[in-house]
Amino acid sequence: MAKEGADMTEETEFMIDKNVGKELENVESSGNAKEMRAVILAGFGGLNKLKVTKKAMPEPQDGEVKIRVKACGLNFLDLMVRQGTVDNPPKPPLVPGFECSGIVESLGENTKGFEIGDRVMAFVNYNAWAEVVCTPVDFVYKMPDEMTFAEAAAFSLNFVAAYMMLFEVASLREGMSVLVHSAGGGVGQAVAQLCSTVPNVTVFGIASCFKHAAIRDSVTHLFDRNVDYIQEVKKICPEGVDVVLDCLCGENTGKGLSLLKPLGTYILYGASNMVTGETKSFFSFAKSWWQVEKVNPIKLYEENKVIAGFSLLNLLFKQGRCSLVKSVMDKLLCLYDQKKIKPVVDSLWALEEVKEAMQRIHDRGNIGKLILDVEKSPTPLMASDSTETSEAGEEEEEPEGDNDSKERMPFIH
């Protein structure tokens, strides 16, 4: 079974024990074991690799908090985990998910700062998509009284990442300009809201045209991702922009660098262009890699440009900067209490609807964050899609071109 809360500096594959599969098979025969529902990724690949099944409930270790989960965040990174395109993923079967919200159920030894019954949100090094999680106390934060569990699950990863890129990396100040890709997504909307807390910041949003009506008021200028936005931006800002936030990679890297004005900062925080189909594609990976402009340090020096990368999960789980993240979270919660920021929730999904939820993210159909609501009952059409009926991970392959999931997706705001 997965041993949650392992040392942050260890490689993530050690977070998932090699015997998970055996435990999943034996859990029903263990009369004394407490069980919980969880989303299991049986192997890397398509949506058919996901199942909801019962597994043994974790108990908190030294310095850990046990949380009864109410809601989980779903991110584009989770699609990359499913496909196996992230760097050094744990071996399946595994429970995906990196953030959740819920109620403290128990505390491990030497765990201070929380009490049973506290409403909390937390980062988890995998294992978040379950009814119960255990995670080190340094990754847990108390929720404001007014915040819902869905909002909390949409808050931590998106807003912390957006804040740190804008203020810790790019040093956003009054009068600067920011270009953000995927402006309608969870991070994009967090970026737009945080930019509004600084006077006279111009925000250029890039998004699919069908999202424009819903997000137009959140940015200063909005452009279709399928048109030549470089020329449109330069008509407004001939010198370029101060900050480019890129979650796409590929050909957009060169475009972003070309738009930077002197002393501007380009930040790469994702590579969603590498995901084109339901399963991992070597061609898409190679094409995206080939399209990335080869950065010449001498050219950066001559043009006075800065290029940076940002991974919040690596910062937390591999580089041990949880105290810095805690200070950022405190600032964000103050902004939330002042009603200056508020997470945008696209829709709520039951655990059994995880396949349809992932398809919605893959199709770039969401505006804001998709949430897995642990207590939500699935719609009848979806209930049989992801619920375990046999051994974990045993499932017939879905035929290619199955678009049923696109036709029966709930939109619960």
Q: What average pLDDT does the chain have?
A: 82
Rounded to whole angstroms, the Cα distance separating 128 from 102 reads 11
CA Rg, the chain, in Å? Answer: 21
- Name, of 48-62, 75-89, 252-266, the range with top average pLDDT: 48-62
On whether the CB atoms of residues 138 and 326 are closer than 8 A, the answer is yes
Predicted pLDDT of residue 21: 42
82-131 tens-digit pLDDT? 988 888 888 999 999 999 999 999 999 999 999 999 999 999 999 999 99
Rounded to whole angstroms, the Cα distance separating 74 from 79 reads 9
Q: What residues form DSSP beta bridges with 119? A: 103
283-293 tens-digit pLDDT? 444 444 444 55
| Band (272; pLDDT cuts 50, 70, 90) | low
| Band (349; pLDDT cuts 50, 70, 90) | very high
Query: Could you tell me which of 149, 137, 138 has the C-alpha nearest to residue 102?
Result: 149
On whether the CB atoms of residues 356 and 376 are closer than 8 A, the answer is no
Q: What residues form DSSP beta bridges with 203? A: 178
Tell me the whole-structure pTM to 2 decimals. Answer: 0.81
**HSE-up of residue 273 (Cα within 13 Å, Cβ side):** 19
Question: Where is 214: in which H helix or E strand?
Answer: helix 212-215
Mean pLDDT of 343-350: 95
Q: Are strands 241-246 and 177-181 parallel, antiparallel or unpaired?
A: parallel
> 178 in helix, strand or coil?
strand
| pLDDT above 60 for 42 | yes
| pLDDT above 50 for 299 | yes
Predicted pLDDT of residue 286: 47
118-171 tens-digit pLDDT? 999 999 999 999 999 999 999 999 999 999 999 999 999 999 999 999 999 999
Going along the chain from its start, the domains and CATH numbers come out as 35-153+348-373 (3.90.180.10), 156-343 (3.40.50.720)
Q: What residues form DSSP beta bridges with 295? A: none
Question: Where is 334: in which H helix or E strand?
Answer: helix 322-337
Dihedral, CA atoms, 401, 406, 407, 411, nearest 10 degrees? 170
Predicted pLDDT of residue 292: 54
248-259 tens-digit pLDDT? 876 777 788 889
Q: How many CB atoms lie within 10 A of CB 10?
A: 12
Q: What residues form DSSP beta bridges with 244? A: 179, 266
